[in-house]
A = this chain, B = another copy of it.
């Protein structure tokens, strides 16, 4: 029996990689990557392509929404703002928040889903133990599913699924390991395109996740960035 088509949003990071691994169990995959002028755009795009190749994905779409860089307002896209050092105890929304970013990603996925007939859209958003971004909360995905129900053709039945939304980072690592997700192909660092800085929120969350899961991060060899943490 032909498997139904699902779109996976693949940033190149570890969460979306595990979401893709979950989707691949039941669906034929179509993979979407969005470049938005973020600092590590080239490295993430490489990770996206290698993950898509790993899963034998035939349909890929790379969408460029460089206007987000023009809009600015985030340390990920605005060269005049610094990417903060990691502080996982910080409350509130960090400077890396890109205003309303996931709505752009999902709008692209929904338009594509309507045309290619995909019924599900997988996104690796994580609410707990994570970033504090408002568009990474379960309530946001409920609202988005209502929007796409009323905003698409009556015969379109597509649903956004955020399977990791309530998981801890360490649980995501464990799940990914069980699914043989290709962590070695992923990229998480917000700052660099070559060696992970080990010092931004995203590196710190990743490190804590692997550490708590008791699994070695294939991207980190001893000494890779430990000395920077001093």
Cβ of A103 and Cβ of B99 under 8 Å apart? no
Count class of interface residues, chain A: 35 or more
Which A residues fall within an 8 A CB radius of B? 61, 63-68, 70-73, 93, 97-104, 107-108, 110-112, 114-115, 134-135, 137, 139-140, 143-144, 146-154
Contact of A153 among B63, B66, B134 (CB under 8 A): B134
Q: Given A73-B115, A114-B73, are A151 and B67 also a contact pair (CB < 8 Å)?
A: no
Interface of chain A: mostly helix, strand, loop or mixed: helix
Cβ of B100 and Cβ of A104 under 8 Å apart? no
Q: Point out the residues of chain B lying under 8 angstroms from A102, CB to CB.
A: 151
Determine the distance from Cα of A90 to Cα of B198 in the docked complex, in whole angstroms: 59
Determine the distance from Cα of A148 to Cα of B103 in the docked complex, in whole angstroms: 9
Q: Point out the residues of chain B lying under 8 angstroms from A149, CB to CB.
A: 143
Determine the distance from Cα of A97 to Cα of B115 in the docked complex, in whole angstroms: 11
